[in-house]
Amino acid sequence: MVLLKRIYKRAILILLPLALLSAFIEWKKLPMSILIGGILGLINLRGLARGVYSIVGTYRPTAKMVISTIFRLGFLAAVLIILFAFKIVNVFGILIGFTVIFILIITEGLRLAKEL
């Protein structure tokens, strides 16, 4: 859980200034899209962490874990479909937010692996 806390802190430190800088490019949708993409990425990371923790704890996938994974992915897809259908967000902003979280996961994981 230490890894998650470090990712959350660094995500805030990166996403907020990035959203502020993107406000100079496109004022309406891009900053909010970057923040929403980052938040959805963090929510997805939290679900992944819980799924992995339940696998490690039980040594076998249970129906509860499979159902929660399908529910999490369905929720993520539904939120993205709604946001895109009503043209609330910019596609590139969502991708930037997801990419920032993805890079943070990789860098923090490598940093933790070096420490161990």
Residue type, 105: I
Domain count, the chain: 1
Cβ-contact 7, 108 below 8 angstroms: yes
Domain that holds residue 88: 30-115
Q: 88 in a domain, yes or no?
A: yes
CA-closest candidate to residue 31, choices 43, 23, 41: 23
Cβ-contact 31, 93 below 8 angstroms: yes
Q: Is the pTM of this model over 0.85?
A: yes
Q: 3 in a domain, yes or no?
A: no
Q: 58 in a domain, yes or no?
A: yes
CB atoms within 10 A of CB 86: 8
- Averaged pLDDT score across all residues of the chain: 91
pLDDT at position 64 is 78
Cβ-contact 42, 76 below 8 angstroms: no
For residue 10, what are its two tokens?
């660094």
Mean pLDDT, residues 15-20 taken together: 96
Q: 59 in a domain, yes or no?
A: yes
Q: 66 in a domain, yes or no?
A: yes
**What digits encode the pLDDT tens for the residues 76-110?**
999 999 999 999 999 999 999 999 999 999 999 99
pLDDT at position 58 is 65
Cβ-contact 101, 39 below 8 angstroms: no
Q: 9 in a domain, yes or no?
A: no
CA distance 70 to 41: 16
